[in-house]
Amino acid sequence: ERASRTVLRLRQHVVSPPLPFVLPSWIVDPDFDLGYHLRAVRVAAPGGMAQLLEFAQSELVTPLDADRPLWTATLVEGLPEGRSAFLLKMSHAIADAAGSARITGALYDDERTPERAAMP
């Protein structure tokens, strides 16, 4: 929630104009549903790296819905030793390298119990 409010592009989607000589534009999705973009799955037994990579490959080839913000995030559980993986799939149209670093900073904390400012 915080990341999608900090990086507004995560709440926007592209709208194609009715006239072909006008450029598409980004608008805030009035029906933004964070639950659509966040998923949690468990890999099939035995839950090793092969199963994780197989799942990640199938996720990456599935197209993003152009009528929604162009990203998904999946928590993959069931890996050995109680481990999990976090897969972030994001269209290159959302951000360049610097923008991707900003998004990563909004998603991850570098402290175990960070102080939280008011929700943006």
Which residues belong to the active site? 92
Q: Token pair for residue 23?
A: 């450029």
Q: Are 85 and 79 in contact (CB under 8 A)?
A: yes
Q: How many CA atoms lie within 13 A of 67 on its CB side?
A: 1
Q: What is the distance in angstroms between the CA of the first residue and the CA of the last residue of the chain? A: 9
What span, in angstroms and rounded, lies between the C-alpha atoms of 88 and 31? 21
